[in-house]
Amino acid sequence: MQKIKSIHINNLSSFIQIKLKRLFLTLFILSFSIKLGKI
């Protein structure tokens, strides 16, 4: 039981990390394109 719980938490944390990385990448691309548009 405890093992399954820890595996689930590990999967959840890695899933959240992937989502955060995608969000950060999207924000970076957006800000970069805005800078390019202003120049």
Domain spans of the chain, in order of start: 1-39
Two tokens, residue 22: 């995608």
Q: Does the structure show a pLDDT above 80 at 32? A: yes
Q: Does the structure show a pLDDT above 80 at 1? A: no
pTM of the model: 0.62
Q: What is the DSSP string of the chain?
A: -HHHHHHHHHHHHHHHHHHHHHHHHHHHHHHHHHHHHH-
Nearest CA-CA partner of 15 in 23, 25, 27? 23
Q: Does the structure show a pLDDT above 70 at 39? A: no
Q: In this predicted structure, what is the pLDDT of residue 19?
A: 98
